[in-house]
Amino acid sequence: MLPQNMLLRQTSGVFPLRARRRLLGLYSQRRHIRQPSKPIHPSEHFDLHGKVFAVTGGGRGLGLAMAEALLAAGGEVHCLDKLPEPAEEFQAAQARQDEPSKQNLQYWQLDVCDTKALDEAMASISGKRKRLDGVIAAAGVNHLGNATDHTEQDINRVMRINYIGAFHTATAAANYMRLHNSLGSILLVASMSGLIANKGMVSPVYNSSKAAVIQLARSLAMEWGNPDGQMRSPIRVNSLCPGHIATPMAQMVMDKSPETRKVWESENMLGRLAQPCEFAGPAIFLLSDASSFVTGSTVVIDGGHTAW
């Protein structure tokens, strides 16, 4: 007799049928939560049509590359950035789209440190369709220099944008995901610098801020998940840890230390810097139903840099 049948036989006179099914894992106590019910074509997992997303730091660089990926998969994407006007990079991205897609890629001038403006933006973005399916917190700054040379102002600026900005982005998003009963996904962009100290990049406060973002993602995943079965719309939260990418921020570092590029390229297993477009696939995966059982994870995409 199979073990499960033995257990069923032993409990048949004690527990009603529903209780026995629960005991065997055959009956879900959480029927109000969307769970995979039957196999579907893999492409359907990545379909974002009808879904609404916000991306902070989405005006250029990595944030814009991930925003374009969500757009290409069918999403309505709102890019939030501090620049008063869209950068040429954003304008070029819009120009590449056909007319329907162009309307689904919107720019918002916003500083993630302005919590009131951030909340108002999330309210407006989610209000039209009564949903907010995903948010990427990609706004961030770097600051190079020895620890002993950092001023309190330097430290506060980096932590305020990189950590506090990510914190308020996530909490504002979560409030409206819950309001509209959206099964949302939040992706906090950290860095491999939150896991290791990089040669050629002396930036102790930046590294510390990204380590904080990684732990924030774990903590929010626990808080906004569904460990006790009571949450009707659990929210998934993950962090993304890129390696060195050819972005304007990285270029600023290389401009100060021209030899840095060769050092960085030699320290990963692929011998080159990443391109922003190489994060399109991971962004779609982590913001779509394809990653429906992924939360609290630290996704490292660094060309093998941290695997030596």
Q: What is the pLDDT of residue 101?
A: 86
Domain ranges of the chain: 51-242+274-299
pLDDT (tens digit per residue) in 237-248? 999 999 999 988
| CATH architecture of the domain covering 51-242+274-299 | 3-Layer(aba) Sandwich (3.40)
Question: Which residues are annotated as catalytic?
Answer: 206, 210
CA atoms within 13 A on the CB side of 68: 22
Q: What is the pLDDT of residue 38?
A: 65
**Rounded-to-integer distance, Cα 141 and Cα 144, Å:** 10
Q: What is the pLDDT of residue 292?
A: 95
Residue 156 has pLDDT above 80, yes or no: yes
Rounded mean pLDDT of 197-224? 95
Residue 14 has pLDDT above 70, yes or no: no
Rounded mean pLDDT of 92-119? 94
Residue 59 has pLDDT above 70, yes or no: yes
What token pair was written down for 155?
């430290």
Q: What is the pLDDT of residue 258?
A: 84
Residue 228 has pLDDT above 50, yes or no: yes
The helix (H) or strand (E) run that includes residue 241 is: strand 236-242
Rounded mean pLDDT of 285-298? 98
What percent of the chain is predicted at pLDDT more than 70?
Answer: 87
pLDDT band at 88 (very low <50, low <70, confident <90, very high): very high
Residue 110 has pLDDT above 90, yes or no: yes
State the Cα torsion 56-58-61-64 to the nearest 10°.
Answer: 140
Residue 200 and residue 257 in contact, taking contact as beta carbons nearer than 8 Å: yes
Rounded mean pLDDT of 40-45? 80
Coil, helix or strand for 18? Answer: helix
Residue 5 has pLDDT above 60, yes or no: no
| pTM of the predicted model as reported, rounded to 2 decimal places | 0.87
Amino acid, single-letter form, for residue 89: E
Q: What is the pLDDT of residue 231?
A: 67
What is the DSSP code (8-state) at residue 273? P
What token pair was written down for 41?
């074509």
Q: Measuring CA to CA, which residue among 238, 242, 208 is closest to residue 221? A: 238
What token pair was written down for 58?
């989405």
What is the DSSP code (8-state) at residue 76? E
Q: What is the pLDDT of residue 279?
A: 98
Q: Measuring CA to CA, which residue among 2, 1, 26, 24 is closest to residue 11? A: 24
Residue 17 has pLDDT above 50, yes or no: no
Q: Flag the least confident range among 17-26, 64-73, 113-122.
A: 17-26
**Rounded-to-integer distance, Cα 102 and Cα 68, Å:** 10
Q: What is the pLDDT of residue 51?
A: 98
Sheet holding 298-301, edge to edge: 105-109, 76-81, 52-56, 134-137, 185-189, 236-242, 298-301
